[in-house]
Every structure is written in C-alpha cells, then in structure tokens.
Amino acid sequence: MADVKIEGDTLTINLSLLDRMLAFRGSFHIPLSHITNAYVSDLEDLELQYRLEGTNWGLIRTAGVFANPQGLIFVDAGQGECLVIETRGERYPRIAVQVSDANALAHEITRAIPDSGPVE
C-alpha cells in the first residue's frame, strides 16, 4: 500500500519497502501542475498487457511498469480499487497505486490541481 500526500504544490507517493523491491522504484514527487486527473479504478479495468519492469502476481500483487492500450502506466496495487493519477510531462503518463481511501484521496488531489475548477 502506498502513502500519498499533498505537500505544498507537490504530490508525494511513497511505496512500502516490499513494494519498492517488487517495482524497482522508490517514490514519486510530482508537481500538482503536472497532474491532469485523479480517479478510482479496479486493477482489472487498467487493462495491463505487457510487463516491462517489475512483478506481476495477478490479483495478489502487481508492481512495476506496464503497457496498456493508453500507453505506459506505473502500477503498485493488489486486488480491489486503486487510485489512478494521470500526468503530463512526467516519466509515466499514469500512475496507479493502492491506498486506504482512494475515493477521498482522488477528490482531494482533483481539488488541489491548479485551475481544475470545483469538484462536487
């Protein structure tokens, strides 16, 4: 499970030690101005096709870089819902991580995106 926080004008995503080893990646620091959207999705709906780097144990644990119909995506999730963050100008156009309350966090990120307008 990832720890996702908004710190000033930056979104910070910290992976657990085990997930760091499985994904070959430590953490992300993304300026909020580079985030275009945040929403909740099931792991199955991400349509992961090819594992490029990392580990894929199906619904048990998926961590690493994958290709899907929309391009590259970094995933650190297991069974159930995950938070998906869409970016521009970053290494990964989409990042999907499993968090404790994905819906509330997606709304918080969407509200914090500059010029994103009101969120209901």
- pLDDT, tens digit (0-9, with 9 covering 90-100), for 76-111: 887 778 999 999 988 889 999 988 889 999 999 999
Q: Which of 43-47, 56-60, 61-65 has the lowest mean pLDDT?
A: 56-60
Q: What is the 3-state secondary structure (H, E, C) of the chain?
A: CCEEEEECCEEEEECCHHHHHHHCCCEEEEEHHHEEEEEEEEHHHHCCCEEEEEEECCCCCEEEEEEECCEEEEEEECCCEEEEEEECCCCCCEEEECCCCHHHHHHHHHHHCCCCCCCC
Q: Residue 15 pLDDT > 50, yes or no?
A: yes
What are the residue ranges spanned by the domains of the chain? 3-112
Q: What is the pLDDT of residue 95?
A: 92
